[in-house]
């Protein structure tokens, strides 16, 4: 018989709520069950009551960190429905914003996972370097978060010469800092003890459970929408897919660090090759009715494959908007990855898939054998796991050799 541990959702200190129940025997996890839906806001139903242009500003608020991916994917699908393709200069600007977003999202994630392990120094450094990217995005689009740059038919703002020069400096700066972090991650004993051999997901399981994003690429699966089904201008850029064979949490860190270096290369290529003249959008008024069509749009968000399905029946409002975010596709693999691990390994494994609906909140540990219930908050679980690793580090090192 195993112990049931529910980890609850609402906690004022944490970013997003997820509820996970772990079945435990002693210190080893036997099974897990996710329970989601605490941030359900009814966006798909609300999108059927707003017009095609008003939905651009509703759908960018689905996620705070990958807001440009959601808006750009919707705009790509709506352009298919209106049967007008975005002009070339608009696609360059849209792709530049997508790659800048990937940089700041991966830097944020690197800090968060180092905080989950207890290595707060790297958390502070990465979030300080991230400010350079946020200041640049504010100069290009007008806001640090929720930069509504895409519209149906192109983009809304043009970029001038001094901003392009600053973009090159920021890309070089981030690439240099991130190479330094890769050296630290591969040589610090603290990081290696907590992440090497933890959260194993084999290549066959990653394909069978349909994982997406850097979680799948860290298990050696060559899946990236920019590589397999290229969209926008990705088939012309120097894009190279990044994969690793380790299948554990350390591989996921290495894959995301190397993706940031590739993103910096793509940003520099875009700055050199951006067309100097050209339209930035088609002039479609907000009161235009589209033809009857249905369209599908796929985009590689920082967390994986983002999927949109749009349907129009000739009215000013869409008939159906369907969104599938990448974290929903990766939840099924958490259940598989935690089996056989200790309770102290829960924070890095759950944070390793980069959940865009938060890490854990409150853990409830039920010991089946003793029939005793213990409730811990997120901070208490983090402190427990750091202390447990310090006490048992010699046994763990000999076990994993």
Q: Which residues bind other proteins (CB under 8 A)?
A: 36-37, 40, 42, 44-45, 50, 53-54, 56-58, 80, 121-122, 125, 128, 131, 138-139, 142-143, 146, 148, 156-157, 180, 183-184, 187-189, 207-210, 222-223, 228-229, 286-287, 294-296, 298, 305, 307, 309, 311, 319-320, 322, 324, 328-329, 331-332
Q: For the CB of residue 333, give the shortest distance to other proteins in the complex, in Å.
A: 9
Q: How far apart are CA 158 and CA 147, in angstroms?
A: 13
For other proteins, which is the closer residue by CB, 26 or 286? Answer: 286
Q: For the CB of residue 295, give the shortest distance to other proteins in the complex, in Å.
A: 6
Q: How far apart are CA 299 and CA 307, in angstroms?
A: 7
For other proteins, which is the closer residue by CB, 307 or 342? Answer: 307
Q: How far apart are CA 166 and CA 176, in angstroms?
A: 16
For other proteins, which is the closer residue by CB, 44 or 88? Answer: 44
For other proteins, which is the closer residue by CB, 343 or 355? Answer: 355
**Alpha-carbon torsion, ordered 255, 111, 141, 76, to 10 deg:** 40
210: left (phi over 0), alpha (psi -120 to 50) or beta: left
Q: For the CB of residue 185, give the shortest distance to other proteins in the complex, in Å.
A: 10
For other proteins, which is the closer residue by CB, 204 or 374? Answer: 204
141, 148 contact by CB (below 8 A) = yes
CA 28-34-38 angle, to 5 degrees, is 140
Q: For the CB of residue 37, give the shortest distance to other proteins in the complex, in Å.
A: 4
For other proteins, which is the closer residue by CB, 140 or 247? Answer: 140
Q: For the CB of residue 89, give the shortest distance to other proteins in the complex, in Å.
A: 18
Q: For the CB of residue 27, give the shortest distance to other proteins in the complex, in Å.
A: 27
Taking the alpha carbons of 210, 213, 215, 221 in that order, is the dihedral positive or negative? positive
For other proteins, which is the closer residue by CB, 108 or 377? Answer: 108
110, 181 contact by CB (below 8 A) = yes
Q: For the CB of residue 398, give the shortest distance to other proteins in the complex, in Å.
A: 20
For other proteins, which is the closer residue by CB, 322 or 372? Answer: 322
Mind giving me the DSSP string for 127-192? HHHHHHHHHHHHHHHS-SS----EETTEES----HHHHHHHHHHHHHHHHHHHHHHHHHHH-HHHH
Using only C-alpha atoms, what is the Rg of the chain?
22
Alpha helices (H) in 283-401, listed in sequence order: 326-337, 346-352, 378-391, 393-400
Q: For the CB of residue 146, give the shortest distance to other proteins in the complex, in Å.
A: 8
The tokens describing 338, both together, are 């935690």
């Amino acid at each position: 018989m195993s112990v049931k541990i529910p980890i609850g959702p609402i906690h004022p200190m944490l970013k997003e709520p997820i509820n996970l129940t772990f079945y435990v025997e002693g210190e080893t996890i036997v099974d897990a069950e996710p329970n989601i839906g605490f941030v359900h806001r009814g966006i798909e139903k609300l999108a059927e009551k707003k017009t095609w242009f008003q939905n651009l500003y509703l759908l960018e608020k689905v996620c705070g960190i990958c807001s440009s991916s959601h808006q750009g994917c919707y705009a790509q699908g709506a352009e298919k429905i209106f049967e007008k393709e975005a002009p070339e200069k608009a696609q360059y600007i849209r792709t530049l914003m997508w790659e800048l977003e990937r940089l700041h999202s991966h830097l944020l994630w690197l800090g968060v996972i180092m905080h989950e392990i207890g290595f707060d120094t790297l958390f502070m450094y990465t979030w300080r370097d991230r400010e350079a990217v946020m200041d640049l995005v504010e100069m290009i689009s007008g806001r640090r978060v929720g930069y509504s740059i895409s519209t149906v038919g192109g983009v809304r703002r043009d970029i001038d010469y001094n901003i392009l020069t600053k973009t090159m400096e920021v890309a070089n700066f981030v690439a240099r800092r991130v190479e330094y972090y890769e050296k630290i991650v591969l040589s610090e004993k603290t990081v290696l003890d907590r992440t090497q051999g933890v959260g194993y997901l084999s290549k066959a399981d990653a394909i069978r459970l349909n994982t997406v994003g850097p979680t799948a690429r860290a298990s050696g699966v060559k899946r990236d929408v920019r590589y397999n089904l290229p969209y926008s201008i990705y088939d012309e850029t120097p894009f190279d897919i990044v994969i690793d064979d380790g299948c554990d949490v350390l591989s996921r860190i290495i894959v995301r660090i190397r993706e940031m270096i590739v993103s910096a290369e793509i940003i520099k290529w875009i700055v050199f090759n951006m067309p100097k003249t050209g339209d930035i959008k088609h002039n479609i008024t907000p009161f235009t009715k589209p033809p009857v069509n249905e369209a599908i749009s796929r985009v590689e968000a920082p967390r994986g494959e983002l999927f949109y399905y749009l349907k129009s029946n000739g009215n000013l409002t869409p008939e159906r908007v369907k969104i599938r975010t990448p974290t929903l596709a990766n939840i099924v693999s958490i259940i598989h990855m935690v089996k056989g691990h200790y309770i102290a390994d829960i924070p890095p494994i759950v944070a390793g898939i980069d959940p865009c609906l938060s890490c854990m909140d409150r853990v409830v540990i039920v010991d089946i054998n003793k029939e005793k219930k213990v409730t811990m908050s997120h901070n208490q679980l983090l402190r427990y796991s750091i202390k447990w690793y310090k006490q048992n580090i010699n046994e763990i090192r000999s076990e994993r050799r």
